[in-house]
Structure 1
Amino acid sequence: MREYFIKTKRIGFSVWDAKDLDLATELWGHSEVTKYICSSGKFSKQDIIDRLNTEVHNHVIYHIQYWPVFELSTGELIGCCGIRPYKTESHSFELGFHLREKYWGQGYASEAAKAAVDYSFRVLKAEKLYSGHHPQNKASEKLISKLGFQLTGTVFYEPTGLYHPFYELVNQTIDT
């Protein structure tokens, strides 16, 4: 039984562990999920291992990651959603989410992203969040805008070899 440190109406956030390779493969082993996050469109077995190790490392060092997200009613992996360090800016993170195809179009990405934004601002006291998406990923573009992120320009994203639209969301609850 997994423990959840964030729960919403339908989902629970857990933490990736080095023993989660099967779950990581369930998510990043499908080209529908990875087509917009790497130039080949598909992760190799080593890419999946590397991605899992990155998430575990981020948790150990920074206590954040693109956390695995589970459906509360079934315990099934929906995908991942969370934050990672953003460059060298303190108190600023990059939001991201990857969902298994069977969970697309059901509001899970929005529910998870809202919870991750809330956690980042309320618990971690983040000053800013950033997010980006593949230029062809219209679903991510729509969600990022719906969350209130403002377009700041484009950034070169090495894994795809493309310039991705990039956005910023400022924490309005911090006293300045």
Structure 2
Amino acid sequence: MTILLETKRLIIRSWIPERDAEQAFLIYNDPEVTHFLGKASRATNVESQRQRLIENIKQSHRRNNGTGSWAIVEKETTTIVGTILLLQLPDKDGLPTQDYEVGWHLRRASWGKGYATEAGRVMLNYGFSVLNLPVIYAVVKLENYASIRITQRLGMKPIGSTNKYYGIQLLLFQLDASEKNRGEQEEQGAGEQRSGVQRLVSEY
């Protein structure tokens, strides 16, 4: 097991397919969790989920650039509560672009606890401080209000609507390396960001 990052409540570590497949399946077999991820994200059984974890690890090794997806583990219970990722955004044909996204998927029982924000913040710091990325994006479906609120808490700026990635219309948010401390100052400028998001939502 490789621990990548830690927070007060969470451990961000590599997936262990043999051990984690069952917990991952419980997360990704929940239609509420995969509602904004699409049907392709749902595993049909524990074994198919294990194979997905194995393939994700292989892809990370092939990329060999420090990016990937990791398990979010609750320290108190050692339960896997979700996934945090930092990956190259794909274009409409699924080919990697030069833009990087931070993303999160959490099990339903762990919603509303601030885990996505907590994991997202250390992942942004990792992307800026370790991988030396100049900018990190988040892409969110228009009606995914929970993830929009997380981007606000992380200090990410709403840029507008785009169909550049994944071949669908998405809201785009960004955080520059020079502004990485904004994510630690959640309330500073929050009103301006919320109004910007409200304008985006009302326009599309």
Q: What TM-score comes out, normalization by structure 1 length?
A: 0.82
| Distance in 2 between residues matched to 1:3 and 1:53, nearest whole Å | 15
Equivalent pairs counted in the alignment come to 168
2:81 corresponds to? 78
Matching residue's letter, 1:16: W
| Distance in 2 between residues matched to 1:88 and 1:137, nearest whole Å | 23
Q: What does 1:133-148 correspond to in 2, within 5 Å?
A: 133-148=140-155
Q: What does 1:42-81 correspond to in 2, within 5 Å?
A: 43-45=42-44, 48=49, 51-53=52-54, 55-60=56-61, 61-62=63-64, 63-81=66-84
The structure with more helix, counted as a fraction of residues: 2
Contact kept in structure 2, 1:18 and 1:56, CA below 8 Å: no
Contact kept in structure 2, 1:67 and 1:81, CA below 8 Å: yes
| Distance in 2 between residues matched to 1:50 and 1:134, nearest whole Å | 27
| Distance in 1 between residues matched to 2:79 and 2:58, nearest whole Å | 24
| Distance in 2 between residues matched to 1:48 and 1:170, nearest whole Å | 34
1:165 corresponds to? 171
Contact kept in structure 2, 1:31 and 1:42, CA below 8 Å: no
| Distance in 1 between residues matched to 2:36 and 2:71, nearest whole Å | 19
Unaligned runs of 5+ in 1: none
| Distance in 2 between residues matched to 1:52 and 1:8, nearest whole Å | 23
Whether 1:31 and 2:34 are equivalent positions in the alignment is no
Secondary structure of the residue aligned to 1:114 is helix
| Distance in 2 between residues matched to 1:56 and 1:80, nearest whole Å | 13
| Distance in 1 between residues matched to 2:177 and 2:5, nearest whole Å | 19
| Distance in 1 between residues matched to 2:51 and 2:171, nearest whole Å | 25
Larger Rg: 2
Contact kept in structure 2, 1:30 and 1:42, CA below 8 Å: no
Q: What TM-score comes out, normalization by structure 2 length?
A: 0.72
Secondary structure of the residue aligned to 1:125 is coil
Mean CA deviation greater in 106-115 or 161-170:
161-170
Residue 149 of structure 1: how far off its partner (Å): 1.5
| Distance in 1 between residues matched to 2:27 and 2:104, nearest whole Å | 11
| Distance in 1 between residues matched to 2:179 and 2:106, nearest whole Å | 29
